[in-house]
Amino acid sequence: MTAKTRRWRRLRLLGTALALMAGALAQPALAQGATEPVALEQFFQHPAVLDVKLSPSGRQIALTTSAGSKRVSLYVVELGDTPKPKRAAAFSDVDVVRFDWVGDERLVFSVVDLEAGSGEDQRLAPGLYSVAPDGQELRTLVRRYGTPFVSNGERNRSLEWNHLLLSVPRAQPDAPADEVVIGVMKFEGKSLAQITPLWLNVRTGRTRAMDIRGAPDNIHAWMFDSRGNPRAAISSTNGREIYHWRGAGDEGWRELSTHDSLRRPFSLHSVDDKGTLYVTRSTGAGKYSTLTTYDFAAGKPSAKPLVSTPGFDFTGTLLLERSGDLALGVRLETDAEQTLWFDAAMKRFQAEVDERLPGRVNRVQCVRCGANDMVALVRSFSDQDPGTLWLYEAASKRWQPISQVLKGIDPRRMASVDFQRIRARDGLDLPVWITLPPSVKPGTKPERPLPAVVMVHGGPWVRGGHWRWSAMEQFLASRGYLVISPEFRGSTGYGWAHYQAGWKQWGQTMQDDVTDALKWAQAQGLADRRACIAGASYGGYATLMGLVRDPELYRCGIAWVGVADLKLLIQGSGWIGDDVSEDARRYGLPVMVGDPDKDAEMIQANSPVEQAARIKAPLLLAYGAADVRVPLAHGERLRSALKAAGQTPEWVVYPNEGHSWRQVTTHVDFARRVEQFLDRHLKAGAP
């Protein structure tokens, strides 16, 4: 057998092995003259591949997949002459959701129950486990919340649930890769008061103290270099934050800034092994954040930015080489994700990838980046394609497809996403995302105006839209609707000025922005007069207030897990539990939403439960019974107020769901309700 034949056989075997786990890449054939819309179940399936990572040596791939099982499992594939997938971890009652390599001989991972809905507090208590790539030597390192202590030899050193993985140091040639950094969390009420870092041996489960001598109290965030050395920390108390720094040669910690936690002069971003601290700071009229370094001699961020993204806040990560000393590039997002490589070899490779896979975002993950023996994973995706995974081995210059991220999604039948910047009524710059039905050719306008769904994102202090495939927007567009998604003031990612303009504007100028986006789409000939407003969480609140303030614009509303009682959100209740911290209610919500005493009149005027009598349009309400962010009481109070006013909404409560739908059955049931509801109120001939 020749070397070429052996190489081809190896690649063919790898493709076969991975296809068995994650599904084939081939697109389904389009039936000639097919008019049936894509089945809604296709949009809301579990991903075939959730995440994939190369081992430090580049000789193995680890991935999480739900293929062939109802649960998400962890697999490892060795990239040798006869690759064979090995199941490293699989459980009958939980799903593997996060993992990382600790050297080439060990992985750590966390689990949650994706079938239990989001009532489970997975963010703080996902547990931590370690395992060899072949599935041997499984060890419980940190127990999940509610898991009983069992002294059976294997578990007798496992830690309580309040230990959280903080950092996985990069494998070093001069030390065995056996330890990770965990943090012991201490709470005061519902607020996280302090995190204390420790070293944890993933083979033995033993911990040892970390050198944090002189570190102040009340630290809730840490930054580490590639070897796991703590370099930066953030402490907070009484609504104030302090940034701390300890360089490689420093004896103790020094303060870099003391400030109001809502008005940071700059934000800590990352550190490298040379002792460089990277920060972001806001500049210019729109106060867009840029990436720069901290000047320790001057005691402030450097004036010259390293990376700026005009019209957008810098949002991204530095791509460091294996040693942690040198930045090879930066991955960032403006209207779409892109990677800017500083390294010449990687710049050439990115250009080759983009030429091979044009019109897509091609995210490269590599080992020995730019070298002749580089191994690279490429996640290639677009607005119409959830993504495809590819493997590239520079030594053989061969590309190998691994898997689709979602099985059976045909990009030719998916909607396109457009990004526009318009002006709100008061002149504020207003970014708007438009999802056009598959019948509309990308980059063109529809032949005639379309019925529209105004989709308001949650948060509200987040960026809502991205140039990528999104299940709900794609589903709605597949049914013939134009989807309008405004980045109303208060959204992040578009400058501090845009963000701060939303403070104390719930139901007011924030709502005007949503209205202005719809009116703009109608004026452009994109949308007709048939419109429905929809959204979850804050988006659910905006849906209700849209029906209150602009009843002539909307034929209907769809609100799920929506805030309905502003007073309950801001003040809380001793009878109704939620996860809003005492600090948020004391220092955050009064500034950003409203002070319960000083702004009582404004809060009442903009609380849907108080204005329920003004809601006349048909309304679909959905809540999760296990929601601790927006408790079911919000929906129940609104429903009672609507009934008292003679308006009975369509109503559904999912008993095992929280603040976001986690179960496929819930997604499918809710999507079917949405489809039927919109058919009744927006289709031709609807009243």
Q: DSSP secondary-structure letter at 411?
A: G
Residue 342 clears pLDDT 70, i.e. is over it: yes
Q: What is the DSSP string of 603-617?
A: HHHT-TTTSGGG--S
Q: Which amino acid is at 93?
A: D
Q: Residue 164 — pLDDT band, cuts 50, 70, 90?
A: very high
Residue 179 clears pLDDT 70, i.e. is over it: yes
**Digit-coded pLDDT (tens) for 181-193:** 999 999 887 778 8
Higher local confidence (pLDDT), 442 or 431: 431
Judge whether 157 and 204 are in contact, CB under 8 Å.
Answer: yes
Decide if 178 is inside a domain. no
Decide if 273 is inside a domain. no
Decide if 42 is inside a domain. no
Q: Which residues pair with 64 in a beta bridge?
A: 51, 74
Q: Residue 170 — pLDDT band, cuts 50, 70, 90?
A: confident
Residue 577 clears pLDDT 70, i.e. is over it: yes
**Digit-coded pLDDT (tens) for 295-308:** 999 999 999 999 99
Q: DSSP secondary-structure letter at 160?
A: P
Is the CA virtual torsion 677, 680, 684, 687 positive or negative? negative
Decide if 598 is inside a domain. yes
Rounded Cα gap, residues 675 and 479, in angstroms: 8
Higher local confidence (pLDDT), 149 or 266: 266
Structure tokens at 630: 């927006």
Decide if 498 is inside a domain. yes
At a CB cut-off of 8 Å and minimum separation 6, what does 655 contact? 625, 626
Q: Please give the order of strands across the beta sheet that includes 375-381.
A: 361-367, 375-381, 388-393, 398-404
3-state secondary structure of 342: coil
At a CB cut-off of 8 Å and minimum separation 6, what does 446 contact? 436, 437, 439, 440, 482, 525, 526
Structure tokens at 511: 């709502």
Q: Once rounded to an integer, what is the mean pLDDT over residues 584-597?
A: 96
Long-range contacts of 640-646 (CB under 8 A, 24+ apart): 641/609, 641/610, 641/612, 641/613, 642/612, 642/615, 644/612, 644/613, 645/612, 645/613, 645/615
413 burial (CB, 10 Å; 0-12 / 13-18 / 19+) is: middle
H or E element in which residue 620 lies: strand 619-624
Phi, psi of 432 (to 5 degrees): -140, 135
State the pLDDT at residue 190: 75
**Digit-coded pLDDT (tens) for 199-256:** 999 999 999 999 998 899 999 999 999 999 999 999 999 999 999 999 988 989 999 9
Residue 81 clears pLDDT 70, i.e. is over it: no
State the pLDDT at residue 124: 60
Decide if 248 is inside a domain. no
Decide if 439 is inside a domain. yes
Judge whether 107 and 99 are in contact, CB under 8 Å.
Answer: yes
Residue 151 clears pLDDT 60, i.e. is over it: no
Q: Which residues pair with 89 in a beta bridge?
A: 74
Structure tokens at 524: 């452009």
CATH of the domain at 485: 3.40.50.1820
**pTM confidence score:** 0.92
Listed residue (510, 600, 493, 464) closest to 501, CA to CA: 510
**Digit-coded pLDDT (tens) for 369-420:** 999 999 999 999 999 999 999 999 999 998 999 899 999 999 999 999 999 9
**Digit-coded pLDDT (tens) for 525-571:** 999 999 999 999 999 999 999 999 999 999 999 999 999 999 999 99
Domain hosting residue 580, numbered range:
415-682
Domain count, the chain: 1
E strand intervals along 55-114: 60-65, 73-78, 85-89, 95-101, 107-112
Structure tokens at 665: 């059955």
State the pLDDT at residue 131: 97
Unique residue bearing structure tokens 């012991």: 184
Phi, psi of 573 (to 5 degrees): -155, 140
Question: How many CB atoms within 10 Å of residue 429?
Answer: 16
Task: Tell me, rounded to whole angstroms, the distance of Cα 152 from its chain centroid.
Answer: 38
3-state secondary structure of 618: coil
Decide if 626 is inside a domain. yes
H or E element in which residue 351 lies: helix 344-356
